[in-house]
Amino acid sequence: MNISRRSFVAASLAAPFAFPSLLNIRTGRPWKNEKIRIAKVGCGGMGSSDLSEVAKHKSVEIVALCDIDRRQLDVLRLGSKDKDGKVIAPLFASAVAFADWREMYAKMSDKFDAVVVSTADHMHAPIAMEALNRGKHVYCQKPLAQGAYENRRLAAVAASKPSLVTQMGTQRIATKWRRYGGKLLRDGAIGPVKEIYAWTNRPAGWWPQGNPRPEGSDPIPEWLSWDLFLGVAPVRPFKDGYTPFNWRGTIDWGTGAFGDMGCHMLDVPFYELQLGRPLTAYCTPVKPSTDQFPESESVVLTYAATPKTSKSGLTLKWFDGGQFPDFKAIGLPTGWEGGKGGEDVVKGDGGVILVGEQGIMWFPIDSAWARIFVDGKAVELKPEDLKSSNHWHDWIDACLAGKKDACASPFEKAGPMCESLSIGAMSSLDPGKTLQYDEASCTFTNSPVASAMLKRTYPSGWKVENL
Ligand SMILES: NC(=O)c1ccc[n+]([C@@H]2O[C@H](COP(=O)([O-])OP(=O)(O)OC[C@H]3O[C@@H](n4cnc5c(N)ncnc54)[C@H](O)[C@@H]3O)[C@@H](O)[C@H]2O)c1
C-alpha cells in the first residue's frame, strides 16, 4: 500500500460521513501552512506559462525543474541578460535541475508532492503515469496523451487513486462563458444534441504538416538531449527545427491540428453530453505523408446515444487547415451581428457549433462568449452569476482542500475526450475509409496502420507501470 492510499484510508476512518480531507502526502496530516512542492517537466513554451501560473500561488514551492533543453533550465536557475546586457535574476535559483524526468523521479520523489507536465504530446502519458504511480498530484497539458490507450489508462489510474487530484491543461474551460455554456447544455437549452461541428484554421501557417520526412541529419546541439526528447517514440536522426514547438504536426510526437486544438473546443460538449467512445471514424482523402498529419482534413466521428443526445446518437464533424463546415446548411444565421457578421466572423480562428433538436449553440475558439439561436434568432444570454477562475490555481486549491472532484478537467473526464481526439487524429493515417473502433481493445478493427498509433508499442528499455 502506498502512502497516499494509506492517507486516504486514515481520513475515511476519521470522518466516515464527510468527504475525506486530502492529506499532505509528505506529513500524512491535513495541509496547513506548508507549501505544496512541485516538480516541473518541460519548462519552455506553454511550460513556461504553466510554471509562472502555478508559481504565483502563495502555497506553491517549485523544487525541481526538468527539460531536455538545457537553455531553458539555465534561464530559470542561473538567470539571463536582456538585450542591453542587464542581468535578469533567476526565478528558481534553488530548484534542482534535470534533463531526464526518470532521474528526477528516482532521486527526488520524496521531495515533491505534485508534477506539472508540459512536454511534447508523446511523452505526456509516461511522465504523468509515473507521477500517479508515485502518489503525486498531476497537472498535464492537453491533449492528455497521444494514443487512445494511454488516455484510457491515465483516466482509469487517476480514478483509482482517491487521494490524488488531476487536471488537464485546458485553461479556457475556467472562463465564465465556457462555464455558462456548460450550464446551458446541462439545462437542455438546445434540447437533445444531434450534431457537433468544430473547426480550426490550424495547422496552416502555425506549424508544418503534410510534409515528407526530412532527409539526412543535423548535428545535435550541445544543449539538447535528443534521445530524451524521443523518449518512447521511434529513434530517428536529429534535424534542426524539430523541437521546440514544430514537433506537433509529426505523427511520432504530436496529434496534429485535431488533437492540438480539439481539446480547447470539445471539452465542454464532451463533458456535458457524456459522450463515450466513437463507433466509427472517417477522414476524407488527404494528401498522403507517412511522417506528418495532413495539412488539411475533415473527419467524421459517430457516437451512440446518451441521455443528452438525440435518440439516434450524435455525429461530430471536424475541419482543419482551411476546411470549414457549411454554416448556412447548419442553420446558423449569417449577418446576425448588426450586419457586421457573416461567414468571416463565424470562421474566426476556429469554433464549435452544437446542433440540438431545439436550437443551435456556438462557442468561438477563445471562449470569449457563447451564443444560442432558436428558430434563427439569437437568444439573450446573461452569465452574471458565473465568474472565470484560474485553472492552475483551481488544481492547487483542490490539492490543498482534498477536493478531487473540484477540478473542471480531471483525467477521468479528459481521458475519454482525448481518446476520441486521438481516434480522430489517427484516422488520417488510413483516409477515405470508415474505420470501426473497438472500445475494448482501443484499436480499429479494420486498420492496422492507424491502430498502431492508437495503442503504440514503446521501444525496448521503456516500461512504465500501468501503461
Ligand atoms: N493549454 C494551452 O493553451 C496550450 C498552448 C500551447 C501548448 N500546449 C501544450 O503544451 C505542451 C507543450 O507545447 P509547447 O508548444 O509549449 O511545446 P514546446 O516544444 O515549445 O515546449 C515544450 C518544452 O518541453 C521540453 N521538453 C520536450 N520533451 C521533454 C521531455 N521528454 N522532458 C523534459 N522536457 C521536455 C522542451 O524542451 C520545451 O522546453 C503540448 O502538449 C501542447 O499541446 C497547451
Torsion sign, CA atoms 190, 193, 194, 196: positive
Protein residue with its CA nearest to atom 17 in ligand 1: 245
Instruction: Indicate the SS3 state at residue 356.
Output: strand
Residue to probe by mutation, ligand 1, list 41, 43, 46, 395, most atoms within 8 Å of CB: 46
Alpha-carbon distance of 92 to 384, in angstroms, equals 39
Please give the pLDDT value at position 82. 87
CA dist 388 → 53, 271, 428 (Å): 15, 18, 36
Give the model's pLDDT for residue 331: 83
3-state DSSP call for residue 357?
coil
3-state helix, strand, coil in the chain (%, to 5): 35, 20, 45
The answer to whether the CB of 130 is under 6 A from ligand 1 is: no
141 touches ligand 1 (CB under 6 Å): yes
CA of 255 to the centre of ligand 1 (A): 13
pLDDT in tens, 92-121: 999 999 999 999 999 999 999 999 999 999
DSSP labels, 184-253 = HHHTTTT-SEEEEEEEE--STTTS--SPPPPPS--PPPTTB-HHHHHTTSPP----TTSTTTGGGGBTTT
Measured between alpha carbons, how far is residue 9 from residues 6, 114, 160, 361, 399 in Å?
5, 20, 13, 44, 17
pTM over 0.75: yes
Per-residue confidence in pLDDT tens, the chain, 467 aa: 232 332 322 233 333 333 334 555 556 655 555 789 999 999 999 999 999 999 999 999 999 999 999 999 999 999 988 888 888 889 999 999 999 999 999 999 999 999 999 999 999 999 999 999 999 999 999 999 999 999 999 999 999 999 999 999 999 999 999 999 999 999 999 999 999 999 999 998 899 999 999 999 999 999 999 999 999 999 999 999 999 999 999 999 999 999 999 999 999 999 999 999 999 999 999 988 899 999 999 999 999 999 999 999 999 999 999 999 988 888 877 665 544 555 666 777 899 999 999 999 998 888 888 889 998 888 888 887 889 999 999 999 999 998 999 999 999 999 999 999 999 999 999 999 999 999 999 999 999 999 999 999 999 999 999 99
Q: Is the CB of 262 under 6 A from ligand 1?
A: no
Round to whole Å and give the CA distance between 364 and 195: 17
Structural domains of the chain in order of their starting residue, each with its CATH number:
3-172+390-405 (3.40.50.720), 173-388+406-467 (3.30.360.10)
Query: Which conformational region is residue 94 in: left (phi greater than 0), alpha (psi within -120 to 50 degrees), or beta?
Result: alpha
Residue 262 to residues 39, 158, 189, 417: CA-CA distances in angstroms?
27, 22, 23, 9
Q: How far is CA 346 from CA 4, 190, 356, 364, 371, in A?
A: 48, 19, 18, 8, 11
Does the Cβ of 256 fall within 6 Å of ligand 1? no
Contact 115, 138 (CB under 8 A): yes
Looking at residue 209, its pLDDT comes to: 96
- Measured distance CA(446)–CA(45) in Å, rounded: 38
Q: Is there an atom of ligand 1 within 6 Å of 4 CB? A: no
Tell me which DSSP letter residue 46 carries: H
CB 376 within 8 A of CB 134: no
- How far is it, in rounded angstroms, from Cα 238 to Cα 226? 7
| Distance of CA 123 from the midpoint of ligand 1 (Å) | 10
Predicted local confidence at residue 24, as pLDDT: 57
Q: How many CB atoms lie within 10 A of CB 6?
A: 14
Query: Residue 140 pairs with which residues in a beta bridge?
Result: 117, 168
pLDDT for 23 equals 54
Burial code (b: 16+ CB inside 10 Å, e: under 16) for 418-436 equals bbbbbbbbbbbbbbeeebe
- Which phi and psi (to 5°) does residue 166 adopt? -125, 155
**Cell numbers at residue 385, please?**
452569476
Burial environment of residue 445 by CB neighbours within 10 A (0 to 12, 13 to 18, 19 or more): exposed
Side by side, which strands form the sheet with 114-117? 96-98, 60-66, 36-41, 114-117, 137-141, 166-169
Backbone angles phi, psi at 95, to 5 degrees: -70, 145
Q: Which of 69, 102, 116, 119 to mutate to test the pocket of ligand 1 (most atoms within 8 A of CB)?
A: 119
Distance CA 196, CA 215 (A): 40
Beta bridge partners of 168: 140
- The residue with cell 490550424 is 202
Q: Does 66 contact ligand 1 (Cβ within 6 A)?
A: yes
Judged on CB neighbours under 10 Å (0-12, 13-18, 19+), 302 is middle
